[in-house]
Structure 1
Amino acid sequence: MVKGDSTDGEEADTFTMPFRPNRAQRRFISRLWHRNIILKARQLGFTTLIAILWLDHALFNADQRCGIIAHDREAAEAIFRDKVKYAYENLPEEIRDRFPLARDSAVELLFAHNNSSVRVATSMRSGTIHRLHVSELGKISARFPHKAKEVMTGSIPAVPTTGILVIESTAEGANGEFYHLSQRAEALHYTHKKLSPRDYRFHFYAWWQEPNYRMDAGLVHVTREQHDYFDQVEVEMQCTIDLEQRAWYVATQEADFPGAPERMWQEYPSTPAEAFQQSSAGRYYAKAMVALTKRGGITSVPELDLPVYTFWDIGRADGTAIWFMQSLRGEDRFINYYEEHEEDLRHYVRHLQDLGYVFGAHFLPHDANHKRLGDTNRSTKQQLQALMPGQKFTVVPRITELQTGVNLVRKHLRGAWFDREACAFGLERLRGYSKKFSRALNKFIDEPDKSNGCTEGADALRQWAQAKESGLFNPNDDGYGARAEPEEEEDAPDWRA
């Protein structure tokens, strides 16, 4: 028994019901391989399916370790409570009597009769994992890249070739571990090559494959342009999308994702490529990034025997981003990017020291001069100076209008170069930096959308453009790139508040 609803796809009032795989789940079971990548639309129930499969495997096979990795602690607790433990507790009593628990914690069921277990957590590194499900790796890659790296280097290698690994997610932009794994798996799929136990089998489940994603066509107006889109999908995917399906898609987009077509592509993709597609609407640097790419500004940028300058954004909540740049004959050459969340300044200082660079200067956002109430009662700049004695820290003055800073970034990007690998995540942040969409006004407003995690990376690069424009950054002077700071002025209104 599982906690279910009255439909296979849509969310509804929940109740206890026998688990019966839906169409997408049955198709997945029939194609299950040692290594599996699932790119999918929302609400198809794959986490429920895999939790049931893992529980079944643990109950009937001795000394097995089955795990599910979630993108955060809250999701892990919900999956364990509502998928794993709920299913076990709703087994018939006579079955539970035969399969008693040796341990029942908040994250793991360990069975007394055979020493097998099912565990849900945000990471798994110790020992062999015979069955592993990584849920929403796209989200993990976008929001917590260090966790994604840990999954790739620690958790996945723990699954033997005789085991089963399932990586499942909706898309979260054309970068990160999930994107690269999906691209590789899809490419293998189209070669029709016989897969080895270490190759990933590609599974794609579009919204139009879910029978419940339909509604009365008489209730929704579908434009000629929208019909053309559906016709194109039919040709590309060799499928049929009827009027009721088209009505559901249009109604869902207008209700849930107005003005944000990329969100619809991401959550309800029609094709694999569309899942990672991004709209340029509302994006601050869409044209600038296209121009940067066309002129070859994203390339292999070698690290030179020159000072390295850093440009920071220190988030008010939990995110900090740092760009690393060298200057050669007037060229600004970005050689690295780093972003982390929920860490204090000591973490970032350790990271800088581990890189082994010789630093010229560090450029901080305007509020780095503000003293912060707490244990130290010191400003961010003062704390960094104490952690990195002898280093030069320059605070970039505040601008009164965000658009001024955006225009400066666009201007100076024309002479900048970025390493395609070391800066890939930062470049993705620049591409994703966008305006907030107002549902009330039905348009984008001139305010950054902080919900997608791109503001820190974009704001850090803006410190570079503002420092260049104001003359604070000059790599040819005796100050290793940083001129004396102007006297601090009274704060202007904060457009980020």
Structure 2
Amino acid sequence: MASAALVDQWSQPLWRLNNLYTIRDKGGNAIPFRTNWAQEKFFEDMWFLNLILKARQLGFTTAIQLYMLDNCLFNSNTAAGVIAHNREDAEAFFDDKIKFAYDRLPLGLLDRLGATQDSAKSLAFANNSKIRVGTSLRSGTFQLLHVSEFGKVCAKYPDKAKEIVTGAFNTVEAGQFIFVESTAEGNSGDFHDMCDKAQKDEKEGRQLTKLDFKFHFYAWWQDPSYKLDDEDTAATLITPDDAKYFASVEAIIGVKLSQNQRAWYVKKRQTQKAGMKREYPSTPQEAFEASVEGAYFVTEMTKVREQGRICKVPILNKPVDIFWDLGVGDAMALSFRQIVGSEVRWVDYYENSGEGFEHYARVLNEKGYIYGRHYFPHDGDTRSLGAVAKTKREWAIEAGIRPVEIVARIPTEAAGIEASRAYLPSCWFDEERCQRLIQCLDSYRKEWDDKRGTWKDTARHDEFSHGYKSFETAAVAPRSQASKPIDLTRINRGVV
């Protein structure tokens, strides 16, 4: 019986994970690996294709890579791959997690299952299984694939993210395993979109196929160690605003947070600041709403949310001014604004590409607002070089979009960003109609310098630039120009 029980134990991957492998702890010491609460829950709920959105320090990278190593050691003809966003991290994963655990296996196992090929990036075994690391892994076929911090890859290297989706994911056949784990990096990109779809599938109760990703979320409040033990101190830390925040979280998660948990969160936020909701999210929605690394308006947009200025904004029976970004061969963005007292209310947003001004005139008429003025950036008076040399303002007026005013060119990119920062504290945004504009303001960021490993001083031109630039047009417009009285007898309910 003892022999049969022993064989049964060795046949169980989770038993092997908790009894055969050694890892480094945070102090660099070699300790036996033991699954924690989050890892256990994940292995219980694991699907073929897995998306893992999580708080920091839950050890998913280590657990998944040990799981892959174990599969290669105890199953023949198994190929496993690990993708990191750069070569240094890929090699560190291999050395610190995979190779470290492999080198410390019991000697009997090493003699029986030892590698036939051992390099800085791969291990190959006598059973024809292998595990390797890289930054793309487009070639070959894998039975297990792990993509670490995919959200950061999407944010800093969108082209590499596309390569992973179209290349590496396609090396894994249906019925095999993919693990994509990350903290969130903004409300856009492949990781966000994949998680969004997987959550919708779950909410709608759809039966997952072997080609569908399953969504897994692990919040800070689920970790039993994330609490402040000093109850007397805990009671003094929670402000009325904090209490309001925790009440809103509890309403969503259906769990009552203890005073010690609340206090831990408040103390941790003192060091994490705007990154708190990204690194230690309470809900999936909050994780993706959190600030993006390198984003220009982290502080301002955090305040917008804390002060409840993203909400349902009514469109009043008064003129709506429109601020444009004029795309040339790419997106055209229109931000719709009403001013009520000291409040700047953004009531609508529209974006499209490849269309002439006649298209936008039709869209404006269909919306049916009372229109005030249209504000174009400085290039609105630049003449085209085609057969008919007209300015964009002239083309717009000819299409029925008027009156059009040109906002003077700002001296530097930095000046426009500073003007937008100064403008945001007075702004309110409709939560539905302006969702894309909010996304653009959240995601407008600096360019990443991969060679130097730092952010450049210049903005990245991407899909969010146009929406931001339409907002910037309003921010840099002289207040005297933006508040000119409008002769309502000269405008119609539609484009004029």
Q: Check whether TM > 0.5.
A: yes
Judge conservation of contact 1:108–1:117 (CA < 8 Å) in 2. Answer: yes
What corresponds to 1:414 in structure 2? none
Distance 1:116 1:452 in 2: 43
| 1:97-496 map, 5 Å | 97-111=111-125, 113-216=126-229, 217-220=231-234, 221-257=237-273, 260=274, 263-278=275-290, 282-283=299-300, 291=335, 296-302=348-354, 399=411, 402-403=414-415, 406-407=418-419, 430-433=441-444, 451=455, 455-457=459-461
Unpaired runs of at least 5, structure 2: 1-20, 292-296, 310-322, 324-332, 338-345, 358-373, 380-385, 389-408, 424-435, 447-453, 477-496
Mapped to 2, the partners of 1:452 and 1:241 lie a distance apart of 41
Farther-moved stretch of structure 1 (97-106 vs 171-180): 97-106
SS of 2:174's partner is coil
1:363-414 residue CA offsets vs partner (Å, 9 max, x unmatched): xxxxxxxxxxxxxxxxxxxxxxxxxxxxxxxxxx993793356549999xxx
Change (3 A) 1:95 1:125: same
- Assess, with a 3 A threshold, how the Cα gap between structure 1 residues 180 and 284 changes in structure 2: closer, same or farther: closer
Output the CA distance in 2 between the equivalents of 1:159 and 1:222: 48
- Identity, in percent, stands at 37
Cα distance in 1 for residues equivalent to 2:238 and 2:244 = 10
What is aligned with 1:314? none
> Which structure 2 residues correspond to residues 32-71 of structure 1 after superposition, within 5 A?
32-71=46-85
Distance 1:198 1:406, change over 3 A: same
User: Distance between the aligned counterparts of 2:417 and 2:197, measured in 1?
Assistant: 38
**Runs of 5+ in structure 1 lacking a partner?**
6-11, 306-328, 335-357, 361-396, 412-423, 436-449, 470-497
- Structure 1 236/68 Cα, relative in aligned 2: closer, same or farther at 3 Å? same
**Equivalents in 1 of 2:458, 2:262: separation in Å?**
32
Q: 1:96 aligns with which of 87, 110, 121?
A: 110
Q: For 1:296 and 1:410, how far apart are their aligned partners in 2?
A: 21
- The structural deviation recorded for 1:219 is 3.1
Task: List per-residue Cα deviations over 1:206-248 (Å, max 9, x = no partner).
Answer: 0001111112233341112212222221221112311211111
- Distance (whole Å) between structure 2 residues aligned to residue 254 and residue 409 of structure 1: 23
Q: Is the 8 A contact 1:433 1:454 kept in 2?
A: no
Deviates more, 1:287-296 or 1:125-134: 287-296
3-state secondary structure, aligned to 2:299: coil
**Matched residue type, 1:247:** A
SS of 1:219's partner is helix
Range 195-204 or range 234-243, more displaced: 234-243
Secondary structure of 1:103's partner?
strand
Change in Cα spacing, 1:300 to 1:402, as seen in structure 2 (3 Å) is closer
Q: Shift of the alpha carbon at 1:429? A: 6.2
Call closer, same or farther: CA 1:106–1:402 in 2, change over 3 Å.
Answer: same
CA distance in 2: counterparts of 1:402 and 1:453, whole angstroms = 9
Q: CA deviation at 1:282?
A: 3.1
Deviation, 1:73, is 1.7
Q: Distance between the aligned counterparts of 1:202 and 1:222, measured in 2?
A: 32
Query: Compared with structure 1, are the counterparts of its residues 410 and 242 closer, same or farther at alpha carbon in structure 2 (3 Å cutoff)?
Result: closer
Q: Is the Cα–Cα contact under 8 Å of residues 77 and 106 in structure 1 kept in the other structure? A: yes
Q: Indicate if the aligned counterparts of 2:440 and 2:465 stay in contact, CA closer than 8 A.
A: no
Q: Is the 8 A contact 1:206 1:271 kept in 2?
A: yes
Q: 1:453 to 1:145 in 2, by over 3 A?
A: farther
The 1-side partners of 2:334 and 2:421 are apart by: 14
Larger Rg: 2
Partners in 2 of 1:39 and 1:402 — Cα distance? 34
Aligned letter for 1:277?
Answer: E
Matched, 1:18 2:32: yes
Change over 3 Å in CA distance of 1:454–1:433 after alignment to 2: farther
Please tell me whether the aligned partners of residues 282 and 434 of structure 1 are also in contact (alpha carbons under 8 angstroms): no
Which residue of 96, 116, 123 corresponds with 1:82? 96
Alpha-carbon distance between aligned partners in 2 of 1:36 and 1:454, rounded to the nearest angstrom? 36
Q: Distance in 2 between matches of 1:183 and 1:452?
A: 30
Q: For 1:163, what is the secondary structure of its paired residue?
A: strand
Contact (CA 8 Å) 2:186, 2:442: kept in 1 or not?
A: no
Paired amino acid for 1:108? S
TM-score normalised to the size of structure 2? Answer: 0.62
Alpha-carbon separation, structure 1, partners of 2:169 and 2:353: 31
Moved more, 137-146 or 218-227: 218-227
Normalising by structure 1, we get a TM-score of 0.62
1:304 Cα deviation (Å)? 5.9
Give the 3-state SS of the residue equivalent to 2:217 in structure 1. Answer: strand
SS of residue matched to 2:66: helix
CA RMSD between the two structures = 3.9
Residue 454 and residue 398 in structure 1: after superposition, are their counterparts in 2 closer, same or farther (change >3 A)? closer
8 Å contact 1:284–1:434 — kept in the other structure? no
- Aligned letter for 2:289? Q
Q: Per the alignment, do residues 37 and 17 of structure 1 end up closer, same or farther by CA in structure 2, a change over 3 Å counting?
A: same
Encode CA deviations 1:98-118: one digit per residue, 9 max, x unaligned: 11212211111111x111111
| Larger helix proportion of the pair | 2
Q: Kindly provide the amino acid, as one letter, of the partner of residue 218 in structure 1.
A: D
> Deviations for 1:2-36, whole angstroms, at most 9, x for unmatched residues?
3243xxxxxx4231111111011000001111111
Q: What does the per-residue CA deviation read over 1:58-103, in whole Å, with 9 as the maximum and x for residues that have no partner?
A: 0111121101111222221111111111110110111011112122
Amino acid at match of 2:47: W
Amino acid at match of 1:231: A
